[in-house]
Amino acid sequence: MHFQHSDSIWRDFPELAAGALHVEGIRSDVSVADAVDRFEAIASDVLAANSEGELAEIQAWRRTFTRMGLKPTQYRCASEALLRRFRKEGDLPSIHPLIDLCNAVSLAFAIPIAVFDLSRIAGDLEVTRASGDEIYATFSGETEHPETDEVIFCDAHGRAHARRWTNRQSGHSAIRPQTTSALIVVEALHETATADVAELIAALEEAIGAIWHVRPTSALLSRSAPRFAFAAHGQVARTENL
């Protein structure tokens, strides 16, 4: 199985920096409270100095959404939406330990993180432009079709697992209590994105290892090495040059 961005995504967004992490052995009966508190404290310090809209990480996504023909104040990237809610409410709701951890890390780095239940993905997963025929399941159980050329996460069966890049994740592959295998995707477009994504992946690997006592596999992706190939049951993951 592998995850990648299509050639057209790398061509249209050469500033993209991405990373992916595969983890087996996830359980929902663990506590992530200490890690969440630590990352949320970092986010609080960041927001004390600047609003989320002033952050370079968020401004880069707003420019990208504008280039895609989306109003950046109507369709916010996942990290901006989280930061906005956190600033207003001072906390985020608990959903699942893995999601709670990833949301807190996303707050701290102001970088979107998408998390997928691998048992709900058919074949390979690619970030690509939609044809418009793909199927997307909302969290309320409704079915939608992405607009033509919309950036989606698409699997081998033509199912869209996220719409409008990382903004709207599918209810079909959302993490749930019975999830044991997950794919985590990190993407950024600001000037220091390459270094920041690498730091984020390292922080997430360390936290997951400490909490679930497992060894995730990960890769930093680029136009020259765009593919993260991975297998279940502890097989070695790798990046592939295409």
Give pLDDT tens digits for 7-40. 999 999 999 999 999 999 999 999 999 999 999 9
Digit-coded pLDDT (tens) for 33-56: 999 999 999 999 999 999 999 999
Q: What is the pTM of this model?
A: 0.94
DSSP-derived 3-state class of residue 9: helix
Between CA 114 and CA 168 the distance in angstroms is 10
Give residue 232's pLDDT.
52
How many other C-beta atoms are found inside a 10 Å radius of the C-beta of residue 119?
Answer: 13
Q: Which two tokens stand for residue 24?
A: 């087996």
Q: Which two tokens stand for residue 103?
A: 């949301």
pLDDT averaged over every residue in the chain: 93
Give residue 234's pLDDT.
33
Percentage with pLDDT > 70 across the chain: 95
Residue 14 DSSP symbol? T
> Strand pairing of 17-24 and 113-117?
unpaired
| φ/ψ of residue 10, rounded to 5 | -65, -35
Digit-coded pLDDT (tens) for 220-242: 999 999 999 998 543 334 445 44
Digit-coded pLDDT (tens) for 96-118: 999 999 999 999 999 999 999 99
